[in-house]
Structure 1
Amino acid sequence: MWRTMTGALLLGAMVGCARPEPAYRTQPPDPEWLHEAVKQVTDVMVHDIFSPPQASRVYAYASIAAYEALRPAYPGYRSLAGRLNDLQPVPEPEPDQTYYFPLAGVQALLRVGQAMVFTEDRIAAYRDRVHARFRALGVPEPVFARSVAYGDAVAAHILAWADQDRYRETRSYPKYTVTDAPGRWRPTPPAYLDGIEPHWREIRPFVLDSAAQFAPPPPLPYDMTPGSPFYEQVREVYEVGLGLTEEQAAIAAFWDCNPYVMHTRGHAMFATKKITPGGHWIGITAIAARQTGADLMQAAEAYAVTSIALADAFISNWDEKYRSNLVRPETVINQHLDEAWTPLLQTPPFPEYTSGHSVISTASALALTALFGEAVAFDDTTEVEYGLPVRSFTSFVEASQEAAISRLYGGIHYRMAVEHGVEQGRAVGRFVLDRLGMPSPALAAEQGPDATPRRTALR
């Protein structure tokens, strides 16, 4: 009996002293780690006033780094090396070593993001908080250090690849040359800023064969003879602006996404900072991933695919903007129709044709539709923190169509720039999906309301 009692006591002591498994081994990786890291990069770019093309480049490289650093933990996902222009095989983890790849993925994203923004200390401080969170999950120090080092190795590989995309060279290229030629773009009030990124077409695309691969038809010839096709385009912008409905004004404001709106009071001038158009669609990506219950890897895939489509759409769009160099409606209307007219939205500082919102929104919507389905209804809360209400959509395509037409309502684009921009974005988006090995969805408008949702993967 004594032996039995002793054995029972020893067994009880062993059970009582058994250590519980650390949380990082028992809990599934939380996709919020990635969503929050992407949002941190967005917030820093808003603070640093990144232009729309610049921001799209940061999103793409940072998201690709996160995807590649997470991928070894998910064998069903293939590397993007060989599918993206000039991307060589990414470093692989050491065999027979233990890693916590969620930490590596977030580390890679933040390292790339930090290297590409101006306010690096904000991302560094956030990364320190992230490290504390992972340590609190019980990640052993050797595994922690190894995972951070792997994330850094992937980030270094992606940054070396990024360093060859000609971005650095374009920083020293000459500014846009303003001319008085009729129909040519010129700076607009109130700040009369120089044309932003006139050499963005020189940036290496991620998937496209060239910046001009999907060049749209040229804009209508400049001709302000009453009744000419171009005159009618201008007249429509003017009349729409005079007769805006409350809903049209709300749509224009919601999709403004101007990262640097200038205000004047007397002789003083100050700016309001907001997210870029690409930042808005990255926000929609987060909404879609959360709403559909995407896990950490699926979220990383969504950010990577959407940001690649975004980045190449901006390269394609900017190629046309500085080829056609078309004058903005505000300039023409003030000269020929009404010198006191002002658009609802502040005219952005770059040429008019084609509409950037139309191009990048359509490409993004195609990517998100391929990822999450044709008829995913969602509430877009992206602009709430900037003082705008929630807008609801029945699909990503519906959102992109509203984003496109918003530029006509805002008084900053002609209808031809909107419609041809949608076609351009559709071509870019489908090409990106094809190169990534993802079936290209038909637009909901083409397929009908009963289209079956589906989810594809980079596999």
Structure 2
Amino acid sequence: MKSTFTSLFVFILLLAVGGCQKKTDAATLANPDVMHTSVRKLTDVMVHDVFSPPVASRVYAYANIAAYEALVPGYPNYQSLAGQLKNLKNLPKPDPGQAYCYPLASLRAFLTVGRTLTFSGDLVDEFEPQVYQKYKDAGLDEEVYNRSMAFGDSIGKKIMEWADQDGYRETRGRRYTVVNNPGKWQPTPPAYMDAIEPFWFKIRPFVLDSCSQFKPAVPSTFDVRKESDFYKEVMQVYETGNALTTEQKVIASFWDCNPFVMHNTGHVMYATKKISPGGHWINIAAVASKKAKADFMKSVETYALVSIALADGFISCWDEKYRSARIRPETVINNHIDKDWAPLLQTPPFPEYPSGHSVISTAAAVTLTSLYGDKFAYSDSTEVAFGLAPRQFTSFNQAAEEAAISRLYGGIHYMPAITNGQTEGQQVGDFVISKIKTRKSAKKPAQVAQVK
């Protein structure tokens, strides 16, 4: 029995590396750590390039979809996303009867797309040889190596052709016209930056029927009379900000995720770079995959599904942001309550409603829960690189709830933007996992691969 089990294990492992040749270190070829390292590198490049949250989500989505599509031919129980994502079709196929190392192809596709969609391609160029050398050092046959790299290239090229048709180019260089109507968004201190991505609603969704499919409830009417609902919402932000506990300050800072924070020192203004909200959740996806000891395929599946939920979450959220164009608490409080008040966090340069972190965090949590279960405890070390201690969570939903309420503690959102944003994110996440089927089994991923 033991011998039979060992033979079966070897067979499955060889199948998992999708044709990687004998006389190689099969465990190295199928080790997902190299994918986790590559995803982290892409995050670092986007932090360096100061990508806005919506744009960063687009990069993650296309790069991780490319990784998934180059890997999936080596895993018979999984299926392509072609025909499931909008306008994704006719992807290249591997040559029948030929050996491939699909993990290598997956990395090649991921890094090719990541390089193309970021500014600092030289940083990817410096990193790539280290990735591929691992496969050479593991003894991968040269013909298989070259064939796998070529297949990854072909997938990457096709994904970029698909990306080029999503409306992104048409939104470049278009600026938002600020209106002085009461209750409408105005640029905020300290840099009074232009509004970010005012035409993001024109980007083609990945799964959603349209950008307005899950349009949130209309926010309360702007009204600064003390008896109005809006004024009460403003006062909640003001009073909360004036009485923050140490823990609330820690929570707000942990989930800040503002890619470009401006600082004033005398007459000098400078900026610090941070991870985006989507980047934070991509790192949580990595944490979950590692803790669950997910193999290469499930790790890539996780990145792809979370990336899609994040990308569609931003498209949905940004659609409402520029429809309601809601004024930020800082502006209202300075104009009507306390001219010297400042929020704990720097107000990001786009309209207030709904809360982007509430939308995308909830959507990501829904997706991760479908893959790893509801009782998945983990330590989130994402912000350690930015000088903050790890935080412990008993579930992805708990983390999403904390991310959402952090926006009230930070003084940058009214409560309805948070609660209605969570509802919108739940709808987006539910829709994504209901529409995308990565497994050929009729069972959902949560039923197939739940972590006990």
**Normalized against structure 1, the TM-score is what?**
0.91
Instruction: Tell me by how many angstroms 1:129 deviates.
Output: 1.4
Q: Name the CA distance, whole Å, in 2 between partners of 1:364 and 1:379.
A: 16
Residue 340 of structure 1 aligns to a residue whose secondary structure is coil
Q: Name the CA distance, whole Å, in 2 between partners of 1:289 and 1:138.
A: 26
Q: Name the CA distance, whole Å, in 2 between partners of 1:404 and 1:157.
A: 36
- The residue that corresponds to 1:59 in the other structure is 60
1:107 matched to 2:83: no
- The residue that corresponds to 1:84 in the other structure is 85
Instruction: Tell me by how many angstroms 1:25 deviates.
Output: 3.7
- 1:50/1:259 contact within 8 Å kept: yes
Q: Name the CA distance, whole Å, in 2 between partners of 1:295 and 1:69.
A: 16
- The residue that corresponds to 2:271 in the other structure is 271
- 1:330/1:342 contact within 8 Å kept: yes
- 1:69/1:105 contact within 8 Å kept: yes
- 2:78/2:438 contact within 8 Å kept: no
Residue 264 of structure 1 aligns to a residue whose secondary structure is strand
Q: Name the CA distance, whole Å, in 2 between partners of 1:25 and 1:393.
A: 34
Q: Name the CA distance, whole Å, in 2 between partners of 1:172 and 1:189.
A: 23
Instruction: Tell me by how many angstroms 1:130 deviates.
Output: 1.2
Instruction: Map residues 16-31 of structure 1 onto 2, 5 A cutoff.
Output: 22-25=23-26, 27=28, 29-31=30-32
- The residue that corresponds to 1:399 in the other structure is 399
Instruction: Tell me by how many angstroms 1:298 deviates.
Output: 0.2
Structure 1 residues 125 and 317: alpha-carbon distance in aligned structure 2, compared to 1, 3 A threshold: same
Q: Name the CA distance, whole Å, in 1 between partners of 2:209 and 2:188.
A: 33
> Aligned partner of 1:241: which letter?
G
- 1:187/1:194 contact within 8 Å kept: yes
Structure 1 residues 395 and 438: alpha-carbon distance in aligned structure 2, compared to 1, 3 A threshold: farther
Deviates more, 1:45-54 or 1:93-102: 93-102
- The residue that corresponds to 2:437 in the other structure is 437
- The residue that corresponds to 1:129 in the other structure is 130
Q: Name the CA distance, whole Å, in 1 between partners of 2:26 and 2:246.
A: 53
Instruction: Tell me by how many angstroms 1:21 deviates.
Output: 5.5
Instruction: Tell me by how many angstroms 1:29 deviates.
Output: 0.7
Instruction: Map residues 177-326 of structure 1 onto 2, 5 A cutoff.
Output: 177-326=177-326
- The residue that corresponds to 2:5 in the other structure is none
Q: Name the CA distance, whole Å, in 2 between partners of 1:85 and 1:322.
A: 24
CA shift digits 1:374-430 (9 cap, x unpaired) = 110000001001000010000000000000000000000000000000000001110
Structure 1 residues 316 and 26: alpha-carbon distance in aligned structure 2, compared to 1, 3 A threshold: closer
> Aligned partner of 1:55: which letter?
A
- 1:374/1:454 contact within 8 Å kept: no
- 1:379/1:393 contact within 8 Å kept: yes
Residue 231 of structure 1 aligns to a residue whose secondary structure is helix
Q: Name the CA distance, whole Å, in 2 between partners of 1:52 and 1:110.
A: 20
Structure 1 residues 21 and 89: alpha-carbon distance in aligned structure 2, compared to 1, 3 A threshold: closer
Q: How many residues align?
A: 424
- The residue that corresponds to 1:450 in the other structure is none
Instruction: Tell me by how many angstroms 1:258 deviates.
Output: 0.3
Residue 298 of structure 2 aligns to a residue whose secondary structure is helix
Residue 250 of structure 1 aligns to a residue whose secondary structure is helix
1:359 matched to 2:363: no
Q: Name the CA distance, whole Å, in 1 between partners of 2:137 and 2:152.
A: 19
- 1:372/1:455 contact within 8 Å kept: no
Residue 152 of structure 1 aligns to a residue whose secondary structure is helix
- 1:373/1:455 contact within 8 Å kept: no
- 2:241/2:409 contact within 8 Å kept: yes
Residue 84 of structure 1 aligns to a residue whose secondary structure is coil
Instruction: Tell me by how many angstroms 1:24 deviates.
Output: 3.5
- 1:438/1:456 contact within 8 Å kept: no
CA shift digits 1:17-61 (9 cap, x unpaired) = xxx963334656100011011001000000000000000000000
> Aligned partner of 1:142: which letter?
E
1:420 matched to 2:420: yes
- The residue that corresponds to 1:118 in the other structure is 119
Instruction: Tell me by how many angstroms 1:172 deviates.
Output: 3.5
Structure 1 gaps, min length 5 = 1-19, 440-452
> Aligned partner of 2:419: which letter?
E
Structure 1 residues 86 and 327: alpha-carbon distance in aligned structure 2, compared to 1, 3 A threshold: same
Instruction: Tell me by how many angstroms 1:132 deviates.
Output: 1.6
- 2:408/2:415 contact within 8 Å kept: yes
- The residue that corresponds to 1:98 in the other structure is 99
Q: Name the CA distance, whole Å, in 2 between partners of 1:290 and 1:428.
A: 26
- The residue that corresponds to 2:442 in the other structure is none
Q: Name the CA distance, whole Å, in 1 between partners of 2:81 and 2:173.
A: 31
Deviates more, 1:130-139 or 1:328-337: 130-139
- 1:370/1:455 contact within 8 Å kept: no
- 1:208/1:431 contact within 8 Å kept: yes
Residue 70 of structure 1 aligns to a residue whose secondary structure is helix
**Normalized against structure 2, the TM-score is what?**
0.92
Instruction: Give structure 1 regions of 4+ aligned residues with deviation exceeding 2 angstroms.
Output: 20-28, 453-457
CA shift digits 1:205-245 (9 cap, x unpaired) = 00001000000011100000012000000000000000001
Structure 2 gaps, min length 5 = 1-20, 440-445
Instruction: Tell me by how many angstroms 1:180 deviates.
Output: 1.4
Q: Name the CA distance, whole Å, in 2 between partners of 1:27 and 1:321.
A: 46
Instruction: Tell me by how many angstroms 1:89 deviates.
Output: 2.8
> Aligned partner of 1:91: which letter?
P
Residue 23 of structure 1 aligns to a residue whose secondary structure is coil
Q: Name the CA distance, whole Å, in 2 between partners of 1:152 and 1:244.
A: 51
CA shift digits 1:54-89 (9 cap, x unpaired) = 000000000000001010110110100010000013
Q: Name the CA distance, whole Å, in 2 between partners of 1:150 and 1:171.
A: 31
Q: Alignment identity in percent?
A: 55
CA shift digits 1:330-370 (9 cap, x unpaired) = 00000000000000000000000000010000000000000
Instruction: Tell me by how many angstroms 1:455 deviates.
Output: 4.4
Q: Name the CA distance, whole Å, in 2 between partners of 1:241 and 1:273.
A: 24
- 1:356/1:421 contact within 8 Å kept: yes
Q: Name the CA distance, whole Å, in 1 between partners of 2:303 and 2:28.
A: 23
- The residue that corresponds to 1:171 in the other structure is 172
Instruction: Tell me by how many angstroms 1:96 deviates.
Output: 1.3
> Aligned partner of 1:56: which letter?
S
- The residue that corresponds to 2:9 in the other structure is none
Q: Name the CA distance, whole Å, in 2 between partners of 1:44 and 1:144.
A: 26
Structure 1 residues 210 and 152: alpha-carbon distance in aligned structure 2, compared to 1, 3 A threshold: same
- The residue that corresponds to 1:155 in the other structure is 156
> Aligned partner of 1:67: which letter?
Y
